[in-house]
Structure 1
Amino acid sequence: MESATAILLSRLDFAWVASMHFLYPPLTIGLALLLFFAEWRWMRTDDEAWYRLTRFFEKLFIINFGAGVATGVTMEMAFGILYGPFSQAAGPYFGNVLGYETITAFMYEAGFIGLMIFGWGKISRGMHLFATFNVMLSSTLSAFWIMNANSWMQTPSGVELRNGIFHVTDWSKAIFNPSFLSSFAHMWVAAVELALFFVIGVCAWQLLKRRHEGIFAKPLKYALVAAAVVAPLQVYLGDDLGQVIGEHQPAALAAMEGHYHTYNKDGSVNTGWHIVAWPDAAAGDNRWAITIPHALSLIETHTLDGKVMGLDQLPAENRPPVWVPFYGFRVMVAIGFFLMLVAFYGAWLIYKRRLTAPYTGASRWFLRVAVFSGFLPFLAIWTGWWTREVARQPWLVDGMMRVEDGVSRMTVLEATIWLVGFMIFELVVWYFTWYFMAKVIRHGPDLEAPVLRGGHESLGHLEAEPEDDRAHPAYERP
């Protein structure tokens, strides 16, 4: 009994560590791309507003990156502490892949971040843009290896488990395992979407407060138009990943859909998609559900009566929990469609020239929704990650190693101490991250600092146009 409780605490501990860490890397990945775009626009147009925006969002990027490093190192440590047997067994593949991620994140990326932060005015504008490009590229490569490691746990291939150790038999099959490309594409676009709505939320907040309107109106419009393309792309990639899960992880799909019975009592195929349900693992069925007939087959097989495997095809001990993946998946999907509608409506307002100062009526209500939307992608990524991880249970490496075989053996007291310690650390990081981010956002861009142009300073300022902050009666000096 004590062993089962200790294992549960260790699992909750790692779930906490991973969830808190996962707040930061997606924003780093997406924001690096947007920083590159803003700096490129400054170089192309020599418009000082783009320089101010780049420096402003760069501060937010740095805060977020630091939090990601702190929590990332903690998560690496948690692997060894909480999942020692797994770390040892999977070291020949998993350890190497995490090593590649370390090279890209802590060597390649960190080096160019140093140039990006401290290179203003000391290196040429072209070289600085090159440094920002490499920050963008290295963060993507870091995501490549992290998603590769996780995808290998979902659909392991190219390895053999011999004497408790995973031996690599084919590196190409292990790296390009069946779910990797779809998972990586879905996650990378999710990171871009998160960064776009983060920028949308920050810009909308500034405009609601009537601060720095001349600077933040333009990136808001750019981000909304980009989101109108990225949001539906993300929905498409999610459907593609669902097809992969249905083919290679039918148990995970069944848990995500609350799908218990492959066939009806008369032997026909049960194809309904449950909008909401009350899963009952003990009874092996849903107590009740609101269902759309044939919709699950349409989604997964693109036919009205295609067979989708239910949980009844698995032994009870191999069935994943249903509640978390079922509702986690639905929250993620609901947020995805809501963000798509926000992006479409914002693009329509831009097209109709209704998203311009002064912001009143419909445009002001839209700005409020846009600020709220800035938080939703974080929840979508959280619920999507919980869905992905819980739906794989009871396997640590799907079909090859169970959780109880990979978790470290601890007493309840030891597991509790680690859980409390990690919770305190992650909460401290989270608090100061958002404290300093909020402080930067409230202060806004620095309009008084000189524009640093490749090895020398230029004291260019924004011209006093009708929308210029300093010409606006509501302008507030930071």
Structure 2
Amino acid sequence: MSDNSLSVFLSRLDFAWITSFHILYPPLTIGLAVILFFFEWRWVATNDERWYRLARFFEKLFIVNFGAGVATGITMEMAFGILYGPFSQAAGPFFGQVLGYETITAFMYEAGFIGLMIFGWGKISKKMHLFATFNVALSSSFSAMWILVANSWMQTPAGIVFKHGVFQVTDWVAALFNPDVMYGFPHMLVATFELALFFVAGVCAWFVLKRRNVTLFARPLRFALLALVVVAPLQVYLGDGLGATIAHDQPAALAAMEGHYNTYNKDGSVNTGWHILAWPNAKGDGNAFAITIPHVLSLLETHSWNGKVEGLNSIKPQDRPPVVVPFYSFRIMVAAGMAMMLVAFWGGWLALRRRLSADTIAANPWFLRAVTASAFLPYLAVWTGWWTREVARQPWIVYGMMRTSAGVSHMSVPLEIFWLVGYMAFELTVFGGTWYFLAKIIRKGPDLVSPVAQDGHQALGHIEEPAHHEPGKPEYLRPA
């Protein structure tokens, strides 16, 4: 491997490391902000203290995760200039504008309300605080939108010309609403909701398993599972739509994701088999082995029995992406998505049988263990989905227009290694600290004794107590 090839590889590896860690945090920030708004809205609407306690507890987890997302996000912005200087200069007329829009409509917008959300309890009115939480949720979603607009443009560039080494915007509407973003953004946004719902469900299931504050956590667990009955299949549907877009606009990427080399069989018929498992051969023009189901690839991508799907062998060798990473990442993502949908349906079935109430939910230990373990699945799906998306685009940094090798900074190999080691150390430190504090907050549990914030002051809440319970304590404070 030449020094130039090694430098390109290290730049890609470095940025892959940075983005793989950063993407762990924003999805939870976005989805959890929406859930916090729901909890607080229910408190304001019903004056039920339990919703307030839940909002304050999960807000602590939100703050830790939000801080990690900001720290790693700033690092990623810095890495663009350090690792991909030529690309940053070339794509500046579009990329810079989009990131500027994100700064105005997300960062600055969010900064105006997140302080009120975190520190405004008991200092501003309940409705004003609810309004602040709503705006934090909305601005977080705007951030995801602009990031996906920028990334989708790299996948399916539109509304630009590449002239004199610079991407010049000729049609802002076409550039912003490029083909990939129409499914790419909804797919990612719903992923944030799915991740946050599983996170909340996993935390609540853990408390119920431990028989800690069962009455308090049974309700949000039930709500999260019922929401997932809708969200999980919706995510599968959006993923199918995104797959059709990739098949149309990025045939090489789709072929790599499916390990699909030959458009036609030897007899001239259309090759429509879908590989469950496969491994490319040494020549890179086929699979050394494959476990294949006939016609399924055509059904998935063209929704017909013998629809044609372009294979890698019809793509110039220098334009073909790697196969192993997108192939297996895609399958792990799909498997995680199917597993989450099954857990959601399991929860929906239990809800129909009235087995998710505070009195009955603890009698389903295996389900609660499955929900707790499933909190990891959306992280795995987001991770592998992002790897699929980014690796399958190679060797292009802007698909079909600018190669990754032309977009990386011209640094020496030792300097590349220096940045790689530095970024690895930083990301691992943030990762370790984040999960340490998240685990610490969860183990400690919610604050159930501090005064409940009211309009502009602190006041003790009041919950009606059943006569058969110990007087002086709200029901959800007592052990199950």
Q: TM-score, normalised by structure 1?
A: 0.97
Deviation, 1:454, is 1.4
Partner of residue 210, structure 2: 209
Secondary structure of the corresponding residue to residue 399 of structure 1: coil
Secondary structure of the corresponding residue to residue 305 of structure 1: coil
In the alignment, is the contact (CA less than 8 A) between 1:280 and 1:287 conserved in 2?
yes
Residue-by-residue CA offset, 1:319-348 (whole Å, 9 max, x unaligned):
000101101010000010110010110111
Residue-by-residue CA offset, 1:128-175 (whole Å, 9 max, x unaligned):
111111011101111010000000000001111111100010111100
Structure 1 residues 454 and 280, CA gap change in structure 2 (3 angstroms): farther
> What is the CA–CA distance in structure 2 between the aligned matches of 1:173 and 1:358, rounded to whole Å?
55
Partner of residue 468, structure 1: 475
> What is the CA–CA distance in structure 2 between the aligned matches of 1:211 and 1:336, rounded to whole Å?
30
Residue-by-residue CA offset, 1:340-399 (whole Å, 9 max, x unaligned):
010110111121122345668861011001000001100100000000000000000000
> What is the CA–CA distance in structure 2 between the aligned matches of 1:463 and 1:86, rounded to whole Å?
62
Match runs of 1:24-423 below 5 Å: 24-280=25-281, 282-357=283-358, 363-423=364-424
> What is the CA–CA distance in structure 1 between the aligned matches of 2:158 and 2:293, rounded to whole Å?
36
Secondary structure of the corresponding residue to residue 287 of structure 1: strand
Moved more, 441-450 or 79-88: 441-450
In the alignment, is the contact (CA less than 8 A) between 1:213 and 1:468 conserved in 2?
no
Structure 1 residues 58 and 311, CA gap change in structure 2 (3 angstroms): same
Residue-by-residue CA offset, 1:93-137 (whole Å, 9 max, x unaligned):
011111111223321112211110111111111111111110111
In the alignment, is the contact (CA less than 8 A) between 1:447 and 1:461 conserved in 2?
no
> What is the CA–CA distance in structure 1 between the aligned matches of 2:320 and 2:284, rounded to whole Å?
13
Structure 1 residues 334 and 243, CA gap change in structure 2 (3 angstroms): same
Structure 1 residues 387 and 463, CA gap change in structure 2 (3 angstroms): same
Amino acid at match of 1:276: L
Residue-by-residue CA offset, 1:55-85 (whole Å, 9 max, x unaligned):
1111111111110000000000000000000
Aligned-residue sequence identity (percent) comes to 67
> What is the CA–CA distance in structure 1 between the aligned matches of 2:478 and 2:100, rounded to whole Å?
53
Amino acid at match of 1:146: I
In the alignment, is the contact (CA less than 8 A) between 1:281 and 1:321 conserved in 2?
no
Deviation, 1:271, is 0.2
Amino acid at match of 2:183: S
Deviation, 1:434, is 0.7
Deviation, 1:243, is 0.7
Deviation, 1:302, is 1.1
> What is the CA–CA distance in structure 1 between the aligned matches of 2:195 and 2:361, rounded to whole Å?
27
Residue-by-residue CA offset, 1:162-220 (whole Å, 9 max, x unaligned):
11100010111100011111000000000000000000000000111111112100000
> What is the CA–CA distance in structure 1 between the aligned matches of 2:71 and 2:88, rounded to whole Å?
21
Moved more, 1-10 or 349-358: 349-358
Deviation, 1:471, is 2.7
Structure 1 residues 282 and 462, CA gap change in structure 2 (3 angstroms): farther
> What is the CA–CA distance in structure 2 between the aligned matches of 1:63 and 1:303, rounded to whole Å?
47
> What is the CA–CA distance in structure 2 between the aligned matches of 1:112 and 1:361, rounded to whole Å?
38
Q: RMSD over aligned Cα, in angstroms?
A: 1.4
Structure 1 residues 217 and 361, CA gap change in structure 2 (3 angstroms): closer
> What is the CA–CA distance in structure 2 between the aligned matches of 1:94 and 1:331, rounded to whole Å?
31
> What is the CA–CA distance in structure 2 between the aligned matches of 1:154 and 1:281, rounded to whole Å?
28
Secondary structure of the corresponding residue to residue 275 of structure 2: strand
Secondary structure of the corresponding residue to residue 6 of structure 2: helix
Residue-by-residue CA offset, 1:227-270 (whole Å, 9 max, x unaligned):
01100000000001111111111111000100000011111100
Amino acid at match of 1:470: L
Amino acid at match of 2:385: G
Partner of residue 428, structure 1: 429
> What is the CA–CA distance in structure 1 between the aligned matches of 2:402 and 2:419, rounded to whole Å?
24
In the alignment, is the contact (CA less than 8 A) between 1:212 and 1:444 conserved in 2?
no
Structure 1 residues 281 and 194, CA gap change in structure 2 (3 angstroms): farther
In the alignment, is the contact (CA less than 8 A) between 2:53 and 2:447 conserved in 1?
yes
Secondary structure of the corresponding residue to residue 309 of structure 2: coil
> What is the CA–CA distance in structure 2 between the aligned matches of 1:229 and 1:351, rounded to whole Å?
15
In the alignment, is the contact (CA less than 8 A) between 2:208 and 2:362 conserved in 1?
no
In structure 2, stretches of 5+ residues that fail to align are none
Moved more, 357-366 or 254-263: 357-366
In structure 1, stretches of 5+ residues that fail to align are none
Moved more, 115-124 or 394-403: 115-124
Secondary structure of the corresponding residue to residue 292 of structure 2: strand
Q: TM-score, normalised by structure 2?
A: 0.96
Secondary structure of the corresponding residue to residue 304 of structure 1: coil
> What is the CA–CA distance in structure 2 between the aligned matches of 1:352 and 1:281, rounded to whole Å?
54
> What is the CA–CA distance in structure 1 between the aligned matches of 2:145 and 2:371, rounded to whole Å?
30
In the alignment, is the contact (CA less than 8 A) between 1:336 and 1:380 conserved in 2?
yes
Partner of residue 6, structure 1: 7
Deviation, 1:463, is 4.5
> What is the CA–CA distance in structure 2 between the aligned matches of 1:99 and 1:279, rounded to whole Å?
42
Amino acid at match of 1:253: L
In the alignment, is the contact (CA less than 8 A) between 2:200 and 2:224 conserved in 1?
yes
Secondary structure of the corresponding residue to residue 369 of structure 1: helix
Amino acid at match of 2:344: A
Secondary structure of the corresponding residue to residue 232 of structure 1: helix
Deviation, 1:282, is 2.2
